[in-house]
Structure 1
């Protein structure tokens, strides 16, 4: 029985299968980590959106902002600009992660010998392209 197990573990085809499974598991873990990171960044972006709305409704020249481990008192206009910049940075980071995620999903499907997803790499039309078609973007 031990001889049979030894011959199976040394077989090249078994090693290739194990290598393929471990590679696909590694890529899948990367994909799940990226998805979790996107969820966390979207939560942070939503908190910034809530803060922005609170600043719009509030009145006063200065507000307290939590910046890292410190509370800082700053002008409302500066706080709005800070929140806007943070929101834009998070949006760019999420977009970057999503683009990398598409590549990782394609790589995973290649490792698993599955066909690539159709329509997965589509990009929306720009405003200029929509104008050329004679349609207007939805708000």
Structure 2
């Protein structure tokens, strides 16, 4: 492995244009990874704020509540506000999951571009319910 990596890097050093192009591609992909991670953090913060708002609506008294929609404050029935927040929660969950799965692909691509081994465990998938039942039955655990 080390020998082939050395040959690849030697080839890049012999051609400065190819080397510069490769480095710019690595840098671009690294930047995309960082942006995606920041986006995940921002969406997760928004999801947490929505969760707090849903909890406050469930514990609050009254039939109407104020809700910020962009730069507007709107007075809505609590049910309608809850439905809007739950819909936004579902959208945020989908968006975060999509970014996380794309992030795994980009990190593996970056590892390939840097001629490194893939990160172990990055592509692990959770076990299905059927697989869990099979394991539990093999261990003698009743579900």
TM-score, structure 1 normalization: 0.83
Aligned length: 127
**What is the aligned partner in structure 2 of residue 130 from structure 1?**
132
Matched residue, 2:57: 55
3-state secondary structure, aligned to 2:117: coil
* Whole-angstrom distance in 1 between the partners of 2:41 and 2:79: 29
> 1:60-102: per-residue Cα shift (whole Å, max 9, x none)?
1111111112111111111111111101100100000111111
Equivalence for 1:37: 39
Q: How does 1:68-107 map to 2 (within 5 A)?
A: 68-107=70-109
- Tell me, what secondary structure is at the counterpart of 1:122? coil
The DSSP-based 3-state class of the residue aligned with 2:49 is helix
Q: 1:96 to 1:70 in 2, by over 3 A?
A: same
The residue number in structure 2 matching 1:14 is 16
Aligned partner of residue 73 in structure 1, secondary structure: strand
**Aligned pair in 2 of structure 1 residues 75, 136: CA closer, same or farther (>3 Å)?**
farther
Alpha-carbon distance between aligned partners in 2 of 1:73 and 1:48, rounded to the nearest angstrom: 17
Residue 27 in structure 1 maps to residue 29 in structure 2: yes
Please state how far the C-alpha of 1:16 moved relative to its aligned partner. 2.2
Going from structure 1 to structure 2, the CA distance change for 1:136 and 1:90 (only over 3 Å counts) comes to: farther
Measured on the aligned residues, the alpha-carbon RMSD in Å equals: 2.0
Separation in structure 2 between the aligned mates of residue 77 and residue 131 of structure 1, nearest angstrom: 38
Q: Unpaired runs of 5+ in structure 1?
A: 1-10
Q: SS state of the match for residue 124, structure 1?
A: coil
Q: Following TM superposition, by how much is the alpha carbon of 1:103 offset from its aligned partner in structure 2, in angstroms?
A: 0.9
Q: Quote the Cα distance in structure 1 between the aligned partners of 2:98 and 2:133.
A: 27
